[in-house]
């Protein structure tokens, strides 16, 4: 069975989708068999726009698993937190369906990059947070951060939450494509977070996610 990595972010609009697509493309060029999956997609109907973005960045076209909806097992129409989007659409999230879809992908691929919705504490239902599902499945985390003002606080809070649940941090993905970041702050934030990882999460990798202009 392949390895499943859960891609989460320190906040909404931090660049999870871009980071997921970039890593999928990078690892494919290194000879690994990689596919991406969206845990729960909101704000769409029938097709996940995040999966579409992944495929665009990977440059490999639509997968058969996309046609079978294994990569986008749950889609809700309203652009909101999954718990609210599910309420508005009038149906429950089928977590068993998601779990089985992920397992099927892992049976066929070396790596599955499972992109979450928002951050770790985003509610999937009124009683289940994203991190609760993650703890149940024991997926190692790729945490997407950036150098925007305030990201140190959000990143450390996310890392503390991961540690409290006894989960593994596979990598911190530093999104250099975040247009809201100041260059001076971004450089200092990277230095600080690298030092923090070295002290408290020494096994975690640091991955720079380059700007779009640098993506090939």
Task: Enumerate the known binding-site residues.
Answer: 17, 42, 50, 115-118, 210-212
* Feature table: binding site for substrate: 42
Classify the C-alpha dihedral 69-72-74-80 as positive or negative.
Answer: negative
Tell me how many helices (H) and strands (E) the chain has: 8, 8
In this structure, are residues 169 and 199 in contact, taking their beta carbons and an 8 Å threshold? no
Binding residues for ATP: 50, 115-118, 210-212
Is 53 part of the annotated catalytic residue set?
no
- Binding residues for Mg(2+), by number, are 17, 50, 115
Catalytic-role residue among 16, 33, 38, 128: 38
Q: What angle do CA 118, 203, 184 make, to 5 degrees?
A: 60
Give the contacts of 203 (CB within 8 A, at least 6 positions apart): 168, 169
Would you name the residues annotated as active-site residues? 38
């Amino acid at each position: 069975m392949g390895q499943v990595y859960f891609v989460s972010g320190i906040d909404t609009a931090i660049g999870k989708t871009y980071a997921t697509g970039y890593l999928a493309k990078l690892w494919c060029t290194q000879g690994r068999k990689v596919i991406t999956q969206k845990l729960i997609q909101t704000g769409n109907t029938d097709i996940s726009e995040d999966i579409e973005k992944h495929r665009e960045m990977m440059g490999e076209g639509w997968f058969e698993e996309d046609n079978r909806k294994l990569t986008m097992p749950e889609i809700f129409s309203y652009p909101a937190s999954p718990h609210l989007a599910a309420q508005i659409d009038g149906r429950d999230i089928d977590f068993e369906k998601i779990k089985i879809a992920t397992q099927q992908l892992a049976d066929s691929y070396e790596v599955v990059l499972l992109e979450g919705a928002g951050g770790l504490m985003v509610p999937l239902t009124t009683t289940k947070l994203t991190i609760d599902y993650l703890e149940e499945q024991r997926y190692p985390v790729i945490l997407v951060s950036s150098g925007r003002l305030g990201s140190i606080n959000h990143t450390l809070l996310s890392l503390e939450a991961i540690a409290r649940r006894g989960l593994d941090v596979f990598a911190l993905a530093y999104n250099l494509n975040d247009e809201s970041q100041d260059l001076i702050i971004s450089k200092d934030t990277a230095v600080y977070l690298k030092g923090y990882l070295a002290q408290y999460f020494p096994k975690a990798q640091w991955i720079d996610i380059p700007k779009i202009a640098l993506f090939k």
